[in-house]
Amino acid sequence: MAGGLEIEVKLKVGELVDAPERLTATKIRLEEMGATISHPREFEDNLAFDFPDRSIVRAGSLLRVRVLARGTLLTFKGPAAPALAGLMSGGASQAAGTSATAPTPATAHAPVKARHETELMIPSNETDALLAIIRGLGMQPVFQYQKYRTTWEWQGLHVLLDETPIGIYLELEGDRALIEAGAQALGYRSGDFITKSYRDLYLEHLDQGAQGLQGSRSADRMVF
C-alpha cells in the first residue's frame, strides 16, 4: 500500500485528428530530454465508484478501481487542497538551474492539483472479489474511462503519456518546481496547465458537440 500527497497537472498533446503525429513528436522530445520509460504502454480500464447519493463525488473525492494486465489498483483520493496547490517552490526557472528571479504572474498563479491519495495493488485474480466487496457496501460505478498509458521518468518527475478516446494528454506528477521545469522542457507554459479530471474533460468534449469513438455520446463511459 502506498499513500501521500499527489501533485499533478495535465497537458494537452493533441486532438484525435492529429494524435499519431503529436504522439510521435512527444516521444521524440521526451527522449531528447533524457527521459526514460519506467513502464511500457499498457491498457487501463478505470471504474469510479460512488454511493447512490453521490456522497463521494460531492465531497470532491474519488474511489477508483483500475484494472491492468499486471494487477488491479484500488485508489482513494481526497478532496483537492487549494492551499497546497497554490504553494510555490521556486518556479520552473529555479528548478531548471537558472537564476533565482521572482516568478512571473503567470507562473505564480499557475494551477496545479494537489490531493492526498492512498493506493493498494492486488493480483488480477482477486479483482472480482474486490468489486463484490465494493458493490456489497452499496456502491456502483458512476464513470468508466479507458486509456493507454506509457510511464516515463525525468529527473524525479513522473511523466505519464495517455492515449484516450478524446485525444492525447500528458500528466506530470511531482513537486511543483519539477512539474514546471518538465512542462517547460516539453515546450509548454504554465498557462497550458489543466487540473480537470478526465471525466470533466470528456463532458466538455461532449458539450462542444463532439462524440466519443465509434459515435458514442454516453456521459458515463469514455471508452474505446
> What distance separates the 2 farthest-apart alpha carbons in the chain?
56
Burial of 27 (0-12, 13-18, 19+ CB in 10 A): middle
Q: Does domain 2-222 have CATH number 2.40.320.10?
A: yes
Distance (Å, whole) CA 14 – CA 57: 28
What element of type H or E holds 73? Answer: strand 71-77
Confidence at residue 217, expressed as pLDDT on a 0 to 100 scale: 62
What is the domain partition of the chain in residue ranges?
A: 2-222
187-209 residues labelled b (16+ CB within 10 A) or e (exposed): ebebeebbeebbbebbbebbeee
More confident: 70 or 111:
70
Read off the pLDDT of residues 21-45 as tens digits, 9 standing for 90 and up: 999 999 999 999 999 999 999 999 9
Q: What pLDDT was estimated at residue 212?
A: 54
Burial 121-149 (b: 16+ CB within 10 A, else e): eeeeeebeeebeebeeeebebbbebbbeb
Q: Closest Cα to residue 144, out of 218, 57, 54?
A: 218
Between 119 and 80, the higher pLDDT residue: 119
The mean pLDDT value of the chain amounts to 87
For the stretch 155-174, pLDDT in tens is 999 999 999 999 999 999 99
